[in-house]
Chains A and B, each alone.
Chain A
Amino acid sequence: MKRILSSVTDGKGFDIGLVVLPLGFLFVMSGLPLVYNVVMSFQEVDMFSLGSFARPFVGFRNYVDLFSQHETRPILFNTALFVVASIAGQFAIGFGLALFFWTNFPGASWLRGLFLVSWVMPGLVVGAIWNWILSGDFGVLNFLLRETGVIDGNIFWRSDPNYSLWAVIIANIWLGTSFNMILLSVGLSGIPKDLYEAAELDGANALQRFWTITLPMMRSTIGAIIALGLIFTLQQFDLFAAITSGGPNNTSNVTQYWAWDLSFRQYDFAKGATISVIMIVFVMFASVVYVRSTRHEVRG
């Protein structure tokens, strides 16, 4: 007993104690729910069997039912569009801004940091602000687009089925651009300056330097950021709740909102768990890509 005690205060036991407690907590609070999720996706869960563990197993029926529903395909398509468009927008604007601030002038780093306010704000507040900016008759975005002659009539961003998903995408691009920019700035500042000096001496112009030095040197950073972007866009929930609630008629619904909607609006917990399982497999895949692209840094 004494040996164990002294090991805890002054030996290996100290380290093990420090690690086991948090990992145990994570196992109970994240690991077990993951397993439970898979179990529920093979069960019949309704309001009456919610409280008991012994629920009837139904095999793959939840999965079959899910894919025979007519809204499944459009929602999966929406999710793909949401992810691709959000990442493309965030990355393009973020990279442009990062390159601009990279030219380094007085005040550059402070102003660059200021952009990150979009990222620290609660998602619900961002959603509320964009909900108002995008409103049909009185929205300021419609006003600006009309004044500049881009559109003739008002776009009803939130209620027009053709635009509802784009309303959320616009807000999400705004939200994520700053984070992309900051991470890309870190990558850019890691490129040795003498490479550019050498290229300049050899007569390479700015565009050539960008293609032959900047992009290749940034490859692992870009890989990590795209993977992180995928992870973050698949986590985005608050904007859907605050702007469109998945409507009208599911035209702006995506899987991560749909899973919640099925569980907590329609009380179909088994279906919600089924979608969760499918999407978590996707997210896990993205995170493997992310971990791999930062692996050499993880191991130091």
Chain B
Amino acid sequence: MSEQFRNRLMLAVALVLAAIYLFPLYWMYITALKTGSAMFATPPKFWPSEPQWRIYADVWQSRNMGRYLWNSLVIAFGSVALISVLGVGCAYVLARYRNVWVDIGLFLILMLQVLPASLMITPIFVGFSQFGLLDTPRFAVILAIAAKSMPFFVVLVRATFMSVPMELEEAALVDGNSRIGAFFNIVLPLARNGILVSAILIFMQAFGEFVYSKSMIQDIELQPASVGLNSFMGPNTNEWNNIMAYATIYVTPILAAFILLQRRIVSGLTSGALK
């Protein structure tokens, strides 16, 4: 068996495996394009005979998706901004020093990373309502997401800072930079890519966040797209083509960003999660 033939065979098997694994995604895209009757045909059609392209505009209008997605964006950007401002410095210090305090800090951060949101929401909701934070529900959700996701961000960004040589920073200090100057002019630019990838991962998580938004945002005007999707799916719904069109609009930007940045995201994720 020649090397080339083996490679081709393996690639073919890999493509089949990927196709099986990604079938649910394909099914979402196909269902969205089906007519009401084609959707419930037996046997189901694996290729839409008369694709309904109008459905996207219809669902966008009837579900008022612009408002939902805008709220998702506000929440996601707010969380990423807050997490980045607070988390980058923390990760930097935890990467630069090696002592007992750093170990304790890291341990605490790893412990906070694992708390399930659906369990933390009860005390957070009661506490926030007592301090009046629920009057600005999107801000409350941003705070909760930031507390939940910052540990993960710190762990990822710390791995990036570890790969920035300390000698560069020391050289800058010798040249007369202050600590702040060295941090902003030397260390941050060198760690930029890693920080960016981690921020994108956090953004994707916050963009799809559900538990906190569902529990804390009562006003439909302020709800994000995940809550909108949830209220679209009643217990006995049969509008599956509309729901899948909604899901398509919601998820396609995330998928596009992921495929474009795939290599960086995967390597950033793997460097942080096991280290």
Contact = CB atoms under 8 A, between A and B. Distances in A.
A121 B31 contact: no
A19 B105 contact: yes
Interface of A: 9-11, 14-15, 17-19, 21-23, 25-26, 29-34, 36-37, 40, 45, 50-53, 97, 100-101, 103, 105-118, 120-126, 128-133, 135, 137-138, 140, 143, 147, 174, 177-178, 182-183, 185-187, 221, 224, 228, 231, 234-235, 237-238, 241-242, 245, 256-257, 259-260, 263-264, 269, 272-273, 275-276, 279-280, 283-284, 286-288, 290-291, 294, 297-300
Contacts of B97: 15
Q: How big is the B interface, by class?
A: 35 or more
Nearest to A96: B17
B114 A287 contact: yes
> Does more than half of chain A's interface fall in helix, strand or loop, or is it mixed?
helix
B24 A25 contact: no
B13 interface: yes
Contacts of A183: 270, 273-274
14 contacts: A19-B94, A21-B86, A29-B147, A53-B130, A97-B17, A108-B14, A117-B25, A129-B24, A143-B42, A182-B270, A237-B116, A241-B210, A276-B123, A280-B116
B117 interface: yes
B122 A272 contact: yes
Contacts of A11: 179
B210 A122 contact: yes
Given A34-B115, A51-B129, A122-B226, A221 B178 contact: no
B178 A9 contact: yes
A124 to B, nearest CB: 5
B251 A122 contact: yes
B208 A30 contact: no
Contacts of A235: 114, 116-118
A182 B247 contact: no
Interface in B176-212: 178-180, 183, 201, 204, 207-211
Among the interface residues A23, A32, A137, which one has the most CB atoms of the partner chain B within 10 A? A23
The 9 closest A-B pairs by CB, nearest first: A122-B208, A18-B89, A29-B147, A33-B123, A276-B119, A22-B90, A105-B10, A22-B86, A37-B123
A124 B205 CA distance: 12
A36 B127 contact: yes
Contacts of A9: 178-180
B126 interface: yes
Among the interface residues A143, A228, A238, which one has the most CB atoms of the partner chain B within 10 A? A238
A241 B121 CA distance: 15
Contacts of A297: 274-275
